[in-house]
Amino acid sequence: MKNIKDYNIEELKKEFTKIGEKSFRAEQVFRWIYKEKVQSFDDMTNLSLELREKLKKNYTMCIYKILKKQVASDGTIKYLFDVLDGNAIETVLMKYHHGYSLCVSSQIGCKMGCKFCASTGIAFARNLTSGEIVEQLLAVERDENIKISNVVFMGIGEPLDNYDNVVNAIRIINNPKGINIGARHISVSTSGIVPKIYQLADENIQCTLSISLHATTDDTRSKMMPVNNRYNIEELIKACKDYIARTNRRVSFEYALAKNNNDNLDDAKRLVELLHGMLAHVNLIPINKIENGKFDKSSNENILKFRDYLNAHGIIATVRRELGSDIDAACGQLRRKNLSEVE
């Protein structure tokens, strides 16, 4: 059966025309799902009983079940959802003073193989569909009875390796007739799939692009992130400059600091040269050590020195507050769990 949440509003209208329904019915259904947040076609009371039956027969509402919910001491919540085919995904809710931010997964597993990330080493199962991405948001809003204000594609998976579904999910989340989260409040984080960055700039969505840079030389970056062997730093920065020029949006660079690996002042100096003159922001993250990982966290002192060097040389840099580390929900700690592991 088709997932009704896989359709953006234009596609849903076309689909309704195909099944012999008026397109305004599609708008009504869209509203029920994303504004009223109903969980069944039966609750869509302005549709005829006949239409409700037809929808029930042909589409699923894709309502996730919570397999596990962990609350960290700082209020961060990690969800493990049953995606209804035997697989499970993780989604993290973070509370900031400016609102709720949701970190969503885009794939079940990840193919990128970054050496410092807990999602590496688990077999890639499949892409999530648009509806499966969107349902993470609805399921959390239902569970906590809140309105999410920011969405970041920083959970499990490489969003640009599931490009079409991610872009479509953004269109659904962004639509004023539905969830209505502004594109500027949606961030897509990538390990650096260069051709897809050019493509994203063409979509005219205005979302924030976040680049997992993590190093300033190809040698170091390739040792951390195999994707660098395909698209090196120079090509990556060129694509970012193009993104900025065409979208007029500031690009965010993630830089996870690992002791004696990428955290000395020579790195900071090279980073300043790389980003010189760009509309950019650097997010410094103390790297989270994963099980058997070879990268250790930089000292706080080093992290602050690194930040201060960047700021003193015209690059805006902040140190990301670590949220949810006591429940393995901080950056890069998410990993797909088998259902059998869940008690």
Residues marked as catalytic: 90, 331
Give least dist CB 114 to ligand SAH, A. 6
Cα separation values, 222 from 14, 114, 225, 287, 298, Å: 45, 9, 5, 17, 20
HSE on the CB side for 39, CA within 13 Å?
Answer: 8
Q: Which two tokens stand for residue 100?
A: 């709720």
Q: What is the DSSP string of 176-242?
A: TTTT---GGGEEEEES--HHHHHHHHHT---PEEEEE---SSHHHHHHH-GGGGTS-HHHHHHHHHH
Q: Nearer Cβ to ligand SAH, position 268 or 290?
A: 290
The answer to whether 270 and 216 have CB atoms below 8 angstroms apart is yes
Q: Nearer Cβ to ligand SAH, position 290 or 315?
A: 290
Cα separation values, 254 from 127, 190, 251, 281, 331, Å: 24, 10, 10, 9, 11
Name the residue whose CB lies closest to ligand SAH: 332
- CA 105 distance to own-chain centroid: 6
Q: Footprint of ligand SAH on this chain (CB under 6 A)? A: 112, 114, 116-117, 154, 158, 189-191, 212, 254, 256, 285, 287-288, 290, 331-332
Q: Nearer Cβ to ligand SAH, position 15 or 158?
A: 158
- Point out which residues pair with 78 in neighbouring strands: 70, 92
Give least dist CB 288 to ligand SAH, A. 4
Q: Nearer Cβ to ligand SAH, position 52 or 320?
A: 320
Give least dist CB 134 to ligand SAH, A. 18
Cα separation values, 94 from 75, 90, 195, Å: 7, 13, 31
Q: Nearer Cβ to ligand SAH, position 80 or 290?
A: 290
Q: Nearer Cβ to ligand SAH, position 47 or 193?
A: 193
CA–CA distance, 46 with 49 (Å, rounded to integer): 9
Q: What is the DSSP letter of 47?
A: S
CA dihedral 94, 96, 98, 104 (to 10 degrees): -20
Give least dist CB 106 to ligand SAH, A. 8
Give least dist CB 213 to ligand SAH, A. 8
Give least dist CB 197 to ligand SAH, A. 12
